[in-house]
Structure 1
Amino acid sequence: MSERHTALRSMHDLGLAAWFGGSLMGAFGVNGGAARINDSTQRLPVASAGWAKWTPVNAAAIGAHLAGAVGELVTESPRVAAQAGVGRASSVKTALTVSALAVTGYSRLLGMKLEKAGNPPVDGTTEPNHSTPSNVASVQRQMKVLQWAVPALTGALIVVTAYMGEQQKPGQVLRGMLGRAGTLGSMKGIGKMAMTGMTGRKMAMSGR
């Protein structure tokens, strides 16, 4: 548990930072900046071009994060089993990661649809106007929600990661291991009491 895994931690943290930061900048910067273009028919193409340029970088960041996360999970598996609370935090982190991946992937599919839409008049990347085709407007309304869902989920991942980092402090590790040992001891004690009770009942019945 005292071994260092700097490369894995760096991949995990840098990948997650780029994933979170890129999605937040995209929502504020790319989408927000495109909405300021005077020509309403150029707002969507400009934003789509920006997101398309970012996609390969984002994919590499996500890949690095996942590789680091899996590597950390493998190297920390003894502590996950021995320290109370670590397994629960790992489950929460996994659920957030899967959700963030799903939302990111679906957002990209919607983004590709907007890229192929051409240059319809819009108020913004995620804001249609009265002249926007209905199929494009439908995709934009979905993107308006999803553009904030990705930074929200990845931001939550950063918080959980920070919490799990606190769990690695020596005092937290000791308390967690003692807590796990106490839980197991309690379960064994309950099982022993149950077995003793059953034995006593059998003896009483035999005495009758």
Structure 2
Amino acid sequence: MQVTATDNHAIAQAVHDVGSALWFGGTVMGVAGVNKSGSDLSQGIDRIRVAESAWGRFSPVQWLGIGATLLAGLRLTQVGGRRLALQKGFASVGAAKAGTAVVGAAATAYAAYCGNKIGKLAEEAQRRGDHIEVKDATVPTPRTPAQIATWQRRQRVAQYVVPVLAGANIVLGSYLVQSYRTVATAKGVLRRVLPG
């Protein structure tokens, strides 16, 4: 089968889906595995360092997935342009999906920023000779320094929001793909042109 320049819907969809899967899967692994793995270490500073190191190494791959999701999503919007006007519900779901992807990318950036703050504050405290006690990378104890605990709580919230948004992006994308089926297209067009 020969693929022409106008036939790249499947390629864009594949790039989008692989990017979304990478983004979603990586963040779930980070929350469930990376952040918690530090609790196996004895020193609080090491609990923070191991998570910061792992997230730092994964970050370029995660942003590659996010970039693929956003760029391929733009291409899919171009390909489905006529559906936006003709098929009822397509535009609103497409807008929700785009919004979810952009907010998810912003939440990812904020989670990374929080992690960076935690790392810097922990290293400063270590240099001062302060004892750093944390349960794991994002969970403070009652004896965690106040600034570090604040940023840990912020990061924990952001890191739970990210996979929810990345997952919602995948779900909305699945809905849009299903709307390309002939019966779904016909129903969407009829709902657009018929009153009621």
Query: How far did residue 22 of structure 1 move?
Result: 0.5
Instruction: Quote the residue 1:169 is aligned against.
Output: 181
Show structure 1 runs of 4+ deviating over 4 A. Answer: none
The 2-side partners of 1:110 and 1:40 are apart by: 17
Query: How far did residue 36 of structure 1 move?
Result: 2.0
Query: How far did residue 111 of structure 1 move?
Result: 1.2
- Alignment equivalent of 1:45, drawn from 36, 46, 49: 49
The 2-side partners of 1:141 and 1:175 are apart by: 46
1:99-121 Cα shifts (integer Å, max 9, x gaps): 21121111111111122122532
1:27-79 Cα shifts (integer Å, max 9, x gaps): 00100111222223310011110100011111111111111000000111011
Instruction: Quote the residue 1:104 is aligned against.
Output: 108
Instruction: Quote the residue 1:95 is aligned against.
Output: 99
**What is the identity, as a one-letter code, of the residue corresponding to 2:144?**
T
The 1-side partners of 2:30 and 2:100 are apart by: 20
Larger Rg: 1
1:167-189 Cα shifts (integer Å, max 9, x gaps): 11100101111221214xx8xxx
The 1-side partners of 2:117 and 2:8 are apart by: 44
The 1-side partners of 2:27 and 2:62 are apart by: 9
The 2-side partners of 1:177 and 1:51 are apart by: 45
2:48 paired with 1:67: no
2:142 paired with 1:130: yes
CA RMSD of aligned residues (A): 1.6
Q: Do the aligned partners of 2:73 and 2:98 also contact (CA within 8 Å) in 1?
A: no
Q: Do the aligned partners of 2:30 and 2:55 also contact (CA within 8 Å) in 1?
A: yes
Gaps of 5+ in 1: 187-208
The 1-side partners of 2:68 and 2:7 are apart by: 21
2:158 paired with 1:154: no
Q: Normalising by the residue count of structure 1, what TM-score does the alignment of the two structures yield?
A: 0.83
2:29 paired with 1:25: yes
The 1-side partners of 2:133 and 2:45 are apart by: 4
Instruction: Quote the residue 2:129 is aligned against.
Output: none
2:20 paired with 1:8: no
